[in-house]
Amino acid sequence: MPISLSAKKSNRKSLKNRKVNIIWKNKYKEVVKKFLLKPTKEGLKEVYSIIDKLKKHFIFHKNKASRLKAKFARKLKSLAKDVKPASKKVVKKTSKTSKTSKKSVK
Q: Above 90 in pLDDT, residue 87?
A: no
How high is the mean pLDDT of the chain? Answer: 87
pLDDT digits (tens, 9 = 90+) for 17-55: 999 999 999 999 999 999 999 999 999 999 999 999 999
The residue type of 83 is V
Contact at 8 Å (CB) between 65 and 54?
A: yes
Q: Could you tell me which residues come within 8 angstroms of residue 44 by beta carbon, excluding any fewer than 6 positions away?
A: 35, 72, 73, 76
Query: Which pLDDT band holds residue 81 (cuts at 50, 70, 90)?
Result: confident
Is the torsion defined by CA of 48, 50, 52, 54 positive or negative?
negative
Q: Above 70 in pLDDT, residue 59?
A: yes
> String of b and e for 21-57 (b: at least 16 CB within 10 Å)?
eeeeeeebeebbeebeeebeeebbeebbebbeebbee
